[in-house]
Structure 1
């Protein structure tokens, strides 16, 4: 099986989100990717975690920066407008080229009805160009928007943006993930894998940030927090 066939087979499985990520990682590391690229990816994860960058990202108790970003059709989407309706779930998305991110988006879509039933809105934020976000939404069957964060400016406000070292840029190009082409600018930056819940007062009440992009929490991990917010809103 090739890359797409492997991705699709695992996607169709009954595995939970992390199980799918683990299964794909085994195939990617042992069969789908060149050993030098795999080594570079592993090295970059170790270095990013060792740098302490994930610990410096915004966390529970911090105030989330307000943002207005375009959806893939160019329509402005305001965090303030979404928060006026209820809590906001935000997932930072590396791009259409990242299979691990796409597994997460499909898991969030599967959970979207339960998220919305708890009064929350759901968006993803990505540095990629709008045509790539439209492709992501189409291929992953998303009913929530991917908002465009040019050059990762909002990711930087959440302390999530980091710059890829030269050896990792080489690996990305080898794997067909040339970020300047996907993102329309040459900063070679990405957001760390991150998912947040922002309460209506702007405070962060759930934060999951990981320097290892192959590790993602189940969407259901957010439900107790959303349930608590719902109880507070009617108290």
Structure 2
């Protein structure tokens, strides 16, 4: 079983009682989310995710505001993008990463690279994250997993793990509005203006994600 799911010793979510208001979790200390070694950057655990050189397949989703968005609208603007898939607003490590990316957004903008966040959260859940962190870049709501499947980063909970998550106060159905019990592997894709992946990192370990400094160095090395 993928180590992503490990033992749930994470900072617990103050998640909704089923059907209640969605509440973002408290953030863990940054030291609890170590970055991978530089030598491990660009690794795709289990060969998951699109590989460098592959074009992103067509997909359709919506923004946190419910506005339609597609592969073409994201990647046909003459501007490269760094696409970050996160598990959902219920994940404290995802929220820590979102805050770090939001704070560093001017450094990505200086490099003419757009940041894009995608999760299986329904629109009001995605909007909750956008408001909390005042995110200045696209936050995509993809509960039907069209973008997840296009990038090949779908992670499915077993029935047993779904119940385990619920025992920890995490109801993925409440966040996605779906019963598929699926979300994204923690992943990052650098996509050029033609919609082709130039760099990819996919991790089964939800606590270990590329740091902002590492992502910026990847962009600098790509010379987009």
TM-score, normalisation: structure 1: 0.74
Residue 9 of structure 1, CA deviation? 7.1
- Structure 2's unaligned 5+ residue stretches are 1-10, 15-24, 35-43
Q: Does 1 or 2 have the higher relative contact order (CA < 8 Å, sep 6+)?
A: 2
Residue 53 of structure 1, CA deviation? 6.5
Aligned twin of 2:154: 161
Q: How does 1:70-85 map to 2 (within 5 A)?
A: 70-83=62-75, 84-85=77-78
Residue 112 of structure 1, CA deviation? 1.0
1:186 aligns with 2:179: yes
1:60 aligns with 2:55: no
- Structure 1's unaligned 5+ residue stretches are 23-51
1:147 aligns with 2:111: no
Secondary structure of 1:151's counterpart equals: coil
- Contact 1:127 1:183 survives alignment (8 Å): yes
Aligned twin of 1:208: 201
* Structure-2 change in CA distance of 1:184 and 1:161 (3 Å): same
Q: Which has the larger radius of gyration?
A: 1
* Structure-2 change in CA distance of 1:140 and 1:153 (3 Å): same
The 2-side partners of 1:135 and 1:202 are apart by 28
1:21 aligns with 2:52: no
The 2-side partners of 1:8 and 1:212 are apart by 17
Structure 1 runs of 4+ aligned residues shifted over 4 Å read: 2-6
Residue 67 of structure 1, CA deviation? 3.1
The 1-side partners of 2:153 and 2:139 are apart by 17
Aligned twin of 1:101: 94
Residue 176 of structure 1, CA deviation? 1.6
Residue 153 of structure 1, CA deviation? 2.2
The 2-side partners of 1:3 and 1:181 are apart by 16
Residue 75 of structure 1, CA deviation? 1.3
Aligned twin of 1:47: none
Residue 155 of structure 1, CA deviation? 0.8
Secondary structure of 1:66's counterpart equals: coil
Secondary structure of 2:137's counterpart equals: coil
Aligned residues: 194
TM-score, normalisation: structure 2: 0.77
Secondary structure of 1:176's counterpart equals: coil
